[in-house]
Structure 1
């Protein structure tokens, strides 16, 4: 049995050294300025070993954490595997993050080193200085700086329980939480994926898995990457989703399995139908959140099934529910039935099991003697939040789900106060904390408003410090949004700014989130609500 991610990578590389491990198609190659084409398993193994030796010589080892700000480049994987071999954990850093987010992540995770794109090194050093952390950066192909401290767990065995990665996920309140993920978490994901059957069978050493999802998220790190490590085959990691070139990338790479988020099928369907829509080798797609009205039309047009699934960063695939057996209830937000490896409850507001057909909060745990097996190991520096998430011995997901009489699960809504825009989870409280720093803002409250393309859009209700004339709404709103863009990833900034005389508050002066959500549905289009979506563009370094 393999104990680490590096173990399973090395074993497959030794077994299939001449096969293709990574394939960079032309669109991603042009975006990153790197060579298009394949990297073979043997070549990748040689680079991982070179990096492992360099990190070891520089004193990095068991218990250290190293940040990776490398987008979706092959170098991300090579540095991850090399560090994993030494028992060091990686902290993926979203390239869209700006100053406030970087300072929090570096300070909270206490990383002493980040492997970064050259153009972002200065940003990271400034954020580390603000956080008061002794810090170095290196480029992906540069010399490894000496470790600031000795490995915290030097001399202890590196194994299945060793921390492999620290992924940050937006929670219901406050700052993003750091999810500690072990080697077991990742290996379990790859083994589960490789053993899928029904609609989603995996052919050993054959599949070519294409994903545009970011390596800073669990899906790309633990699912698409790990199935290739466990089952062999080739990973096609796109830089991001390009709807106009997506089919071209699938054809060029020979993709047989693709990953998606709900917004992607809608964008692909928006293009004019073409005879080339079925000119591909795709067998099936793994994802979540497809709009019910688009599900059947997409499958009919493009000729492969969109297989819906449910999981979270905290659960990994240890509690994954997936509609990979027929009938899949296409177009009904169905994500499958319960499997033997997971126990599931749907719980109503009174703490009772929800009746068949009625929505309840989804509670999950691993079947067997260890209910936490292959889940996250806990939230870093937040034992209270970890205990709360596991109250009563079940992991409380915060998602509202219903189950029909046949045992099929259907997604209803998110109980959490999280905005989900184009697959990115956004904490309302995090955005509010930045908006409240703007001199024109007395108070703010952020909620989701529907967006036909992105699922949710961020709407900010602003109580201004001084009265703002209607003629000045657009100018003041633009200043507030620019302030947010300077501090946060572009997707977190408000797409709408509504000037309101007061916020809906509870008797204890907390934001009344339910009423706020209702307001957010109706505000766009009103005279005091400014549409700022055109300002939300990917920022260049």
Structure 2
């Protein structure tokens, strides 16, 4: 059976089997802990400090931590803020939280005090677990967040904080597990919006198990794999690829705690003999600028890209170096993996792939009708599969707004080709309408990236009296190239040659770097908003 036929067979026979009760800590972590030698994860930091933990060790530590939290008064359904870097304690906290039924709220370590204040006040959390370097910022918000009463510090002991290590050492090993339903809340991620406050995306306990689909049908994980996802643990992608996806499949993970560096990343891939890699496009773009022939990645068998679409030319360079095609995938904070280049199916450069098992995904118009192949519309998921979020916590209006009839509306724009493959265009507010033409920023960015002078680019709309909007590109140049009007003209002509001429950037600005989230996504919203504020 070829890849496409196998994919169709899996899709045809797939059924969601939702148990009445599901507990990730008990049903996944503790199940694999029955083999005391099975490694859960390897860890290394910027100083070279390394460690290895088995599932048995994670199980026992999370049991004790569950007792610590219960001793602080944390009950099933209570929110707990988690402000940690990529450290082992993050795994222990997530496992313990599911075991006792707490609603865990991972937060990026790049958040500022005002961000923490909003999350603490909105969630009503009484407990926060933070690493020592952030304790000072947390101390700054205590007066504005009187509801926060339990402060647990990972790392050095801090005045006014309970020591994570000390409390763990005192805790009982025997834990009373949560008794509840798979449909009850387990996890909240605050996702940044283009306007207003972040939305609180709430997921059920079954969501943590549903990522088996992500791990199996996109990341292609087996129990013998060593898997590295380059992502910060404060982001939803960590749930996908650092924890729930791989551990549901019994795979071992690698956790690296340091700022991303391409040379170091390639060295780690070689030294640890990583077999499966998930990385954002930013990381792959940085990798392909290095001399890839210097690194022996012969153990690497499968690669996936996530966070935003991956440029076809980067996929080509990586394939030429290692004989591996990067399999793009698509999902949101609100969902598990929805569209993917399924292992074994033909990969079309620039495409996100086909819908994953258990999901009916389409491109629809404003009336909820599926659009013809080639037409741009909004990506939508039919029905309410158990793999998508419960709703926006404490905001029924926003929850209702993202559903249209039978469809969950993602807010992302795309088109499908005749074979059903999805091609990402942009967020709904990223699409540029210039003189009646609809232009997706990603296709212009990809065209620019094919030019040897360009390292990265971000394309946004800019107001124009004649056309309403024009395409504007912010470009980071490769070393050895200098900004000039002549180069601008060369880049414009280049885009006209490799894509439809009307899509070329009428304005180009050369910059040293682009604004990004800590997970590596380009923040086009910052650039776009600055354009329209000036108008």
Q: CA deviation at 1:417?
A: 5.3
What secondary structure does 2:58 align onto? helix
Q: What residue ranges of structure 2 are gaps of 5+ in the alignment? A: 1-18, 156-161, 168-175, 433-447, 476-482, 486-506, 519-535
Distance 2:79 2:233 in 1: 17
CA-atom RMSD, angstroms? Answer: 3.5
- The whole-number CA distance in structure 1 between the counterparts of 2:364 and 2:39 is 46
Aligned residue pairs, count: 433
The 3 A distance-change label for structure 1 pair 125 and 416 is farther
Determine the structure 2 residue equivalent to 1:85.
Answer: 99
1:381 aligns with 2:391: no
Partner deviation per Cα, 1:472-522 (whole Å, 9 max, x = no partner): xxxxxxxxxxxxxxxxxxxxxxxxxxxxxxx889xxxxxxxx957746769
Classify 1:417/1:201 alpha carbon distance in 2 versus 1 (closer, same or farther; 3 Å): closer
1:193 corresponds, among 196, 214, 233, to: 214
Once the two structures are superposed, what CA deviation does each residue of 1:456-487 show, in whole Å capped at 9, x if it has no partner?
4899x9xxxxxxxxxxxxxxxxxxxxxxxxxx
Cα distance change of structure 1 residues 83 and 161 upon mapping to structure 2, 3 Å threshold: same
Equivalent of residue 120 in structure 1, options 134, 154, 159: 134
Quickly say closer, same or farther: Cα 1:49–1:517, change in 2 above 3 A: farther
Q: 1:180 — aligned with what? A: 202
Equivalent runs, 1:489-504 vs 2, <5 Å: none
Structure 1 residue 407 corresponds to structure 2 residue 424: no
Flag the 1:126–1:362 CA change in 2: closer, same or farther, 3 A.
same
Shift of 1:372: 4.0
Shift of 1:351: 4.9
What secondary structure sits across from 1:184 in the alignment? helix
In structure 2, do the counterparts of structure 1 residues 42 and 236 end up closer, same or farther at CA, with 3 Å as the change threshold?
same
8 Å Cα contact 2:225/2:276 also seen in 1: yes
Distance in 1 of aligned mates of 2:132 and 2:37: 32
Q: Secondary structure at the match of 1:244?
A: helix
Q: Distance in 2 between matches of 1:140 and 1:273?
A: 37
* Other structure's SS at 1:17 match: coil
Question: Which position in structure 2 is the counterpart of 1:252?
Answer: 271
CA pair 209-519 structure 1, distance change in 2 beyond 3 A: closer
TM-score w.r.t. length of structure 1 = 0.72
2:303 to 285, 295, 317: 285
CA 1:81 to 1:409, structure 2 compared with 1: closer, same or farther past 3 Å? same
| 1:8–1:229 CA contact under 8 A, matched in 2 | no
How far apart are residue 294 of structure 1 and its match? 1.5
Equivalence map 1:48-67=2 (5 Å): 48-67=62-81
Contact 2:368/2:405 (CA < 8 Å) preserved in 1?
no
Per-residue CA deviations over 1:318-341 (Å, capped at 9, x if unaligned) read: x34434332111x2x111123452
CA distance in 2, matches of 1:418, 1:123: 37
> Which residue of structure 2 aligns with residue 356 of structure 1?
373
Q: 3-state DSSP class of the match of 1:251?
A: helix
Counterpart in the other structure of 2:240: 222
Alignment of 1:329-348 (within 5 A): 329=348, 331=349, 333-348=350-365
Aligned to 1:72: 86
Cα distance change of structure 1 residues 315 and 206 upon mapping to structure 2, 3 Å threshold:
same
Distance 2:146 2:345 in 1: 54
State the 1:128 CA deviation: 4.2
Q: Is the 8 A contact 1:172 1:418 kept in 2?
A: no
CA offsets 1:408-442 (integer angstroms, 9 cap, x no match)? 111122213599xxxxxxxxxxxxxxxxxxxxxxx
Aligned residue number for residue 301 of structure 1 = 321
Per-residue CA deviations over 1:181-204 (Å, capped at 9, x if unaligned) read 111111101x2134338xx5432x
Cα pair 1:210 1:237 within 8 Å, conserved: yes
Q: For 1:305 and 1:182, how far apart are their aligned partners in 2?
A: 33
Match of 1:16 in 2: 35
CA contact (8 A) 1:104 1:131 kept: no
CA 185–127 in structure 1, closer or farther in 2 if over 3 Å, else same: same
Q: Which runs of 4+ in 1 moved over 4 A?
A: 141-146, 450-455, 514-522, 524-527, 529-538
- Alignment partners' CA distance in 2, 1:535 and 1:374: 31
Please name the residue that 1:365 is paired with. 382
**Other-structure match for 2:187:** 165
Question: Residues 156 and 38 from structure 1, CA distance in 2 versus in 1: closer, same or farther, beyond 3 angstroms?
Answer: closer
Could you list the runs of 5+ residues in structure 1 that have no partner in the other structure? 147-153, 420-449, 462-502, 506-513
* Residue of structure 2 in register with 1:397 after alignment: 410
